[in-house]
Amino acid sequence: MGTLRKLDLLTYLLLILGSIAMVLPFILMCALALSPNDKVLSYPPLLFPTSITSKNFNDVMAAGSFFRYFVNSLLISSITTAGQMVTCSMAGYAFARLEFKAKNAIFFVFLSTMMIPTQVNLVPLFSLMQKLGWVNTYFALIIPGLFSAFGIFLMRQYYLTLPKELEDSGKIDGCTHWGIFWRIFFPLSVPSLAALGIFSFITSWNSFLWPLLVTNSETLRTLPVGLAAFKSSFREITNWSLLMAGTLISVVPAIIVFITGQKYFISGITSGSVKG
């Protein structure tokens, strides 16, 4: 018992240290965002600002096209998230409940794409956007993100856990496969859809490399790309207070989405672990 108690204490200590290591940069960002610029480079760094100002947030919102970047990111992330929830749930239902030729082989191909680094796909995907004439348009920012192999896998695993009696009852009532999916399975998949939605929104919201490649117009920039341009817009010395204020604003929507869906998050992730 004594050894187990020591192991538990050691585990909790490691978790606390890990939590501090992850939270500390966020606290420092908040401190810099609330501090005057002349206090930013003070040594040692201040975790709690001696003087608090809201001027940085006002200056960020008034600077350049920051609001436009914010709206672009919100629009793209929302559409991408909604699209993934629809396409992944439909494909997941098909792989879990329908029987068709080469189903397992096709699903294996989908899973294999998860093992390919994102950077490898950038060149062929960019070439495809060029041929379609979608470079520097919202189509290039939205369409590729509407589909996710991970999302299909997540939804398939969830639908496999639902009892076959639900499907049989729908067939007895005269439902087609679409009716069974839309009226029975889709409403029951809220936990997995919430988990998928959180992953999709945060991934799209934080995306930097792809929007940087396919856009060259300031009006189409997303928030991560805009913040990078915002940083480079200062000719001599970067105004870190303004940059941290903009970064803090950009974090808020992702936090709101996670807090809103966190009660479904764990159940959505673990719901597909019962049956494979």
DSSP for 46-68? PSS-SS--SHHHHHHHHSTTHHH
Cβ atoms 167, 181 nearer than 8 A: no
35 has pLDDT over 80: no
Q: Examine the domain organization and report whether 202 and 65 are in the same domain.
A: yes
Q: Examine the domain organization and report whether 28 and 71 are in the same domain.
A: no
Q: Please, which pLDDT band fits residue 12 given cuts at 50, 70 and 90?
A: confident
Q: Examine the domain organization and report whether 114 and 242 are in the same domain.
A: yes
Q: Examine the domain organization and report whether 42 and 153 are in the same domain.
A: no
Average pLDDT in the chain: 83
Cβ atoms 202, 255 nearer than 8 A: no
Q: Examine the domain organization and report whether 98 and 158 are in the same domain.
A: yes
User: For position 242, which CATH number holds?
Assistant: 1.10.3720.10
268 has pLDDT over 60: no
Single out the residue in 10, 25, 53 at which a domain terminates: 53
Domain that holds residue 26: 1-53
46 has pLDDT over 80: no
Q: Examine the domain organization and report whether 47 and 184 are in the same domain.
A: no
Task: Report percent pLDDT > 70 for the chain.
Answer: 86
Task: Report the alpha-carbon distance of residue 140 to residue 250 in Å, rounded.
Answer: 22
Q: Examine the domain organization and report whether 104 and 186 are in the same domain.
A: yes
Q: Is 247 helix (H, G, I), strand (E, B) or coil?
A: helix
Q: Please, which pLDDT band fits residue 214 given cuts at 50, 70 and 90?
A: very high
Place of tokens 């975790």: 47
Q: Examine the domain organization and report whether 111 and 76 are in the same domain.
A: yes
Cβ atoms 52, 34 nearer than 8 A: yes
Give which of 199, 189, 113, 202 is closest to 158, Cα–Cα: 189
Question: Element (H or E) spanning 180, and its range?
Answer: helix 177-180
State the total domains in the chain.
2
